[in-house]
Chains A and B, each alone.
Chain A
Amino acid sequence: MKGKFAVLKSLLFAVVFTATAAASPVVGEAAPAFSGKNTKGQTVELSSFAGKTVVLEWTNNGCPYVRKHYGSGNMQKTQEAAAADGVVWLTIISSAEGKQGYVTPAEADALTAERGAKPADVILDTDQTIARAYEARTTPHMFIIDPAGTLVYAGAIDDTPTADPKDLATAKNLVLEALDDLKNGRPVATPESEPYGCSVKY
């Protein structure tokens, strides 16, 4: 006899949730569509990359975890490997104006040049529309979308959640592994992981 009232209650609760939270991105289902502006002010749309694998990378240059991966060249190496396979790499900066990590388009370009980064584009998501659609939590936070538009990976860049570059020697790069699985027509072995790093500055 206990169950039915609990169900009613949770139904109500679920309704409240549905009203407050948009659908979360689900690995294995269609990736949320988005469009944003790159550093040149041009519109970048996810739908325009249909047929290609897309990587989303949330970043914030002030974050020690981001610095771990750029300072060591790990992120640039991952970007180069992706580009070599025709993968579209979109770096996303979601800090709002006035928040830590906010950059102007010119500063963003300067950063890319300075770090020797190789993204296809850098998107300035200053109103956090894309970050909210993907529920991006950390910098870095990584997503991979396959050519059919399905979200196939969400999580950390690797399996060692620290800020210490020394740990890269033993870390497993989960993004490279997932891209390799995709390239070879295998299902992604580790489709989800717990992202780590600084928080996205909403």
Chain B
Amino acid sequence: MSRSSLLIAALLALVTPAMAQSVVKTDNVEARLVAETPNAVPGGTTSVALRLDIREHWHTYWSYAGDSGEATTVDWTLPAGVTAGPLQFPYPDRIEVPPLVNFGYEGTVLHLTDIQIPASAKPGDTIPIKADAVWLVCADVCIPEEGVLTLDLPVAAEAGTSDATTAAEFAAARAAMPTPSPWPATASVDGKTLTLRLDAPQLAGAGLASAVLFPQSGGYIKNAAPQSVDTSGGTLAISTETGRRFATPEKAAEVKSFPAVIVATGSDGVTHAFTLDAPVTAGPAAPAQGGEGALSVPVAILFAFLGGLILNLMPCVFPVLSMKALALAKKGGDTRAARMGGLAYTAGVVVSFLAIAGLLIALRAGGEQVAWGFQLQSPIVVAALALLFFVIGLNLMGVFEVGGRIQNIGSGLGKGDGITASFLTGVLAAVVAAPCTAPFMAGAVGAAISQPPAIALSIFGALGLGMAAPYLALAFSPALIRLMPKPGTWMVRLKQVLAFPMFGSAAWLLWVLVIQAGPNVLAMVLAAFILAAFGLWLWGLAQRGEAGLKTRILAGLTAVPVLAAVAMAKPSAPSGLLSEAYTPARLEELLKEGKPVFVNLTAAWCVTCLVNEEVALSGKDLADTFKKGGITYLKGDWTNRDPDITKLLEQHGRAGVPLYLFYASGKSEPVVLPQLLTEGIVIAAVTGS
């Protein structure tokens, strides 16, 4: 504490004598109670901190002290009607005393407690708070110390404003308090290794500098054992040695869940702590009892091949394959051309799968959080695919033909029978397969993607080969083709029937689109469907010689608005809190109107920003508060260079994101919120309480 702030503290003590506060000094600790606000409010909650300033090189303990030691405790004595919540413990440090480790605090620690004031309290009353605090303080020796601390809390109608030092201390203490993990966690035990997995792509990205696992009580892990952190596949996995609770399979079977705290520090130096209670599953059998779970890479590739075969039965793919097969059957197969066509089709499928996989690997290497099916995250792609399925359905229905030769029923998709056409059919098959694979194979393919690129590409290649295999076999085997039924008018009927799975696929993608981008986009895309149907119908008329060149041109012209509608498929803001893009002009306009504004400057690569948005800015309470207060939420995305945002950051002395600002109604100077947010902090800031 600087001399001037000491002076201010002394002055404050003079002007606010009501808030009498005692300090206990022991040999190793200076302890005091500190209230967050100058006054308590009837019916309100006041946060009170037990502040321990610990002698250099000494430490006190967390709620679970680790291999030795004891947690700090407080016994409250409060007037009738006043109640104290549990003593809160900020996340600890690992204090290593090899071969042991303790979990505790060096320097200064604030243990917060919420004191609930009864509604019957009267302004002008004083609430005496007494705390019998006991703490163990250790260096190489341990000393149990205690102190009786008192604090007189005046009651007033308004809580009043804390001085800057106190406000900052409480904000820091809250930021250090572990909060429930917003991500699901699981723990698995393999032999003597316990692995805790947190399905947190926001944490498991390139921005993570360190992650430390703390057990909430003893016996789960060996506290002092080294921990290894793995962030592949969008999952934060921390592995370490099991504790006595897992010493034998019988004992391990008793353990249902592992209560823990994960302390994650980003490369920006900001730390978040999360509490979780991870369900424990026994891993595959202990290594000594055979590697049943340890499938080799060749087996993985075999499975991928089988998966590819199954893809042919998916509603998105089956019609495409059927048409190709029927065309082959019609021509009798077993020609050089058929074999070349089969190979070209296979190449088209495999190349497409490899291209998607390669793109995926490249994006991930660049730190992007993408997984299989990522292409479907774009509403434009979804809309385009839906339109594609609809158009294929129309084609199967016989509304129009591809290639213009009406006689060539069944050559259908892809122009003619050339090698290029077959290759393109393969590409088409792979493209239409993607939406079907995404929901069914996301997990498996996601795991493959997190492998080294060579293995990942092999797995994807095998998937493509498997998908192409049935057609390839047909192309090379006249015997198989002879097994197929004789061509006839039934082929036309089958073709028409197969249009329905295509319409089904289109309908499903439209449903996805509504969720992604909202009803307005759906209306636009449906209009595009109708227009496309109209255009293709005209085109079909011309193909059959029932209309002339003008009709053809008109049909061609309909493609323009159709494609434009698809290209405009953009997601609306996510449900809950609606944000507008930040521009200096928009901010100025809102401030001129005297409206309250909340500004969030963020970036996709900023872990702290993403965590804050997940933890603090996505809840319903906050959305309600913003709505009630008429607060406009402006979001500045600094993912790419943006001089306007840089300027706003500089105005507040910041070199980077996150920055959270709140402009109260009619104020031109904002309140700057802390870099670590909770929903409570934001609500308190915007409601001015």
**A residues adjacent to B (C-beta < 8 A):** 1-11, 13-14, 17-18, 20-21, 24, 26-29, 62-65, 99-100, 132, 137-138, 154, 161-164, 192, 194-202
A1 lies within 8 A of B448 (CB):
yes
B67 lies within 8 A of A199 (CB):
yes
B67 lies within 8 A of A164 (CB):
no
Question: Taking each of B217, B241, B300, which has the highest tally of chain A beta carbons within 10 Å of its own beta carbon?
Answer: B241
A-B residue pairs, 8 tightest by C-beta: A2-B447, A199-B68, A194-B218, A163-B144, A4-B295, A26-B247, A198-B142, A137-B67
A10 lies within 8 A of B241 (CB):
no
Q: Which of A7, A64, A132 contacts B190 (CB 8 A)?
A: A7
Inside 8 A of A200's CB, which chain B residues have their CB?
68, 100
Q: Which of B119-162 contact A (CB under 8 A)?
A: 134, 136, 138, 140-144
Instruction: Given A197-B68, A198-B142, verify A10-B102 contact (CB < 8 Å).
Output: no
Q: Which of A27, A161, A195, A202 contacts B97 (CB 8 A)?
A: A202
Inside 8 A of A20's CB, which chain B residues have their CB?
226
Closest chain A CB from B96 CB (angstroms)? 11
B99 lies within 8 A of A1 (CB):
no
User: Within the assembled complex, what's the spacing in Å between the Cα atoms of A14 and B444?
Assistant: 25
A202 lies within 8 A of B100 (CB):
yes
User: Within the assembled complex, what's the spacing in Å between the Cα atoms of A144 and B48?
Assistant: 45
Q: Which of B141, B192, B218, B448 contacts A17 (CB 8 A)?
A: B192
The closest CB in chain A to the CB of B189 belongs to A10
In the complex, B639 has a CB within 8 A of chain A: no
A14 lies within 8 A of B287 (CB):
yes
Inside 8 A of A138's CB, which chain B residues have their CB?
67-68
> In the complex, given contacts A199-B138, A202-B99, what are 14 additional A-B residue pairs having Cβ atoms less than 8 angstroms apart?
A1-B295, A3-B293, A4-B293, A13-B228, A14-B193, A17-B193, A20-B226, A24-B244, A26-B247, A28-B248, A63-B142, A100-B141, A164-B134, A200-B100
B191 lies within 8 A of A64 (CB):
no
B144 lies within 8 A of A164 (CB):
yes
In the complex, B239 has a CB within 8 A of chain A: yes
Inside 8 A of A132's CB, which chain B residues have their CB?
99
In the complex, B591 has a CB within 8 A of chain A: no
Instruction: Given A2-B443, A4-B300, A192-B219, verify A10-B190 contact (CB < 8 Å).
Output: yes
User: Within the assembled complex, what's the spacing in Å between the Cα atoms of A99 and B447?
Assistant: 51
User: Within the assembled complex, what's the spacing in Å between the Cα atoms of A141 and B192?
Assistant: 23
Closest chain B CB from A79 CB (angstroms)? 22
Instruction: Given A7-B284, A27-B247, verify A163-B136 contact (CB < 8 Å).
Output: yes
A154 lies within 8 A of B68 (CB):
no
Closest chain A CB from B253 CB (angstroms)? 14
The closest CB in chain B to the CB of A68 belongs to B144
Closest chain B CB from A19 CB (angstroms)? 12
**B residues adjacent to A (C-beta < 8 A):** 65, 67-70, 97-100, 102, 134, 136, 138, 140-144, 190-193, 195, 217-219, 222, 225-226, 228, 230, 233, 237, 239, 241, 244, 247-248, 283-284, 287, 291, 293-296, 300, 303, 443-444, 446-448, 451, 459
Closest chain A CB from B674 CB (angstroms)? 35
Instruction: Given A3-B295, A26-B248, verify A14-B192 contact (CB < 8 Å).
Output: yes
User: Within the assembled complex, what's the spacing in Å between the Cα atoms of A9 and B195?
Assistant: 11
The closest CB in chain A to the CB of B193 belongs to A10
The closest CB in chain B to the CB of A137 belongs to B67
The closest CB in chain B to the CB of A101 belongs to B141
The closest CB in chain B to the CB of A3 belongs to B293
User: Within the assembled complex, what's the spacing in Å between the Cα atoms of A194 and B193?
Assistant: 20
Inside 8 A of A17's CB, which chain B residues have their CB?
192-193, 225, 241
Inside 8 A of B293's CB, which chain A residues have their CB?
3-4, 7
The closest CB in chain A to the CB of B307 belongs to A1
User: Within the assembled complex, what's the spacing in Å between the Cα atoms of A65 and B142?
Assistant: 9
User: Within the assembled complex, what's the spacing in Å between the Cα atoms of A7 and B448?
Assistant: 15
Closest chain B CB from A66 CB (angstroms)? 10
User: Within the assembled complex, what's the spacing in Å between the Cα atoms of A194 and B34?
Assistant: 33
Inside 8 A of B217's CB, which chain A residues have their CB?
194
Q: Which of A1, A29, A137, A198 contacts B447 (CB 8 A)?
A: A1
The closest CB in chain A to the CB of B141 belongs to A100
Inside 8 A of A27's CB, which chain B residues have their CB?
244, 247
B284 lies within 8 A of A3 (CB):
yes
Would you list 17 pairs from A and B whose C-beta atoms are within 8 A, ordered by A residue? A2-B443, A2-B444, A2-B447, A6-B237, A7-B291, A7-B293, A8-B294, A13-B228, A21-B241, A27-B247, A64-B136, A99-B140, A100-B141, A154-B244, A163-B70, A194-B218, A199-B100
Inside 8 A of B67's CB, which chain A residues have their CB?
137-138, 199
The closest CB in chain B to the CB of A154 belongs to B244
A202 lies within 8 A of B98 (CB):
yes
Inside 8 A of A14's CB, which chain B residues have their CB?
190-193, 287
A24 lies within 8 A of B239 (CB):
no
Inside 8 A of A3's CB, which chain B residues have their CB?
284, 293, 295
Inside 8 A of B228's CB, which chain A residues have their CB?
13
The closest CB in chain B to the CB of A139 belongs to B68
Closest chain B CB from A67 CB (angstroms)? 10
The closest CB in chain B to the CB of A64 belongs to B144
User: Within the assembled complex, what's the spacing in Å between the Cα atoms of A99 and B195?
Assistant: 36
Closest chain A CB from B676 CB (angstroms)? 32
The closest CB in chain B to the CB of A202 belongs to B99
B444 lies within 8 A of A1 (CB):
yes
Closest chain A CB from B293 CB (angstroms)? 5
Inside 8 A of A24's CB, which chain B residues have their CB?
222, 244, 247
User: Within the assembled complex, what's the spacing in Å between the Cα atoms of A17 and B240?
Assistant: 9
Closest chain A CB from B13 CB (angstroms)? 33
Closest chain A CB from B562 CB (angstroms)? 39
Closest chain B CB from A40 CB (angstroms)? 28
Inside 8 A of A65's CB, which chain B residues have their CB?
142
Inside 8 A of B219's CB, which chain A residues have their CB?
192, 194
Q: Which of B140, B193, B233, B291 contacts A13 (CB 8 A)?
A: B193
A198 lies within 8 A of B222 (CB):
no
Closest chain A CB from B527 CB (angstroms)? 42
The closest CB in chain A to the CB of B188 belongs to A6
B294 lies within 8 A of A7 (CB):
yes
Inside 8 A of B144's CB, which chain A residues have their CB?
64, 163-164
Inside 8 A of A197's CB, which chain B residues have their CB?
68
Instruction: Given A10-B283, A27-B247, A132-B99, verify A196-B70 contact (CB < 8 Å).
Output: yes
Inside 8 A of B99's CB, which chain A residues have their CB?
132, 202
User: Within the assembled complex, what's the spacing in Å between the Cα atoms of A79 and B69?
Assistant: 24
Closest chain A CB from B134 CB (angstroms)? 7
B138 lies within 8 A of A198 (CB):
yes
The closest CB in chain A to the CB of B250 belongs to A28
A26 lies within 8 A of B244 (CB):
yes
Inside 8 A of B222's CB, which chain A residues have their CB?
21, 24
User: Within the assembled complex, what's the spacing in Å between the Cα atoms of A26 and B444?
Assistant: 38
User: Within the assembled complex, what's the spacing in Å between the Cα atoms of A3 and B186?
Assistant: 14
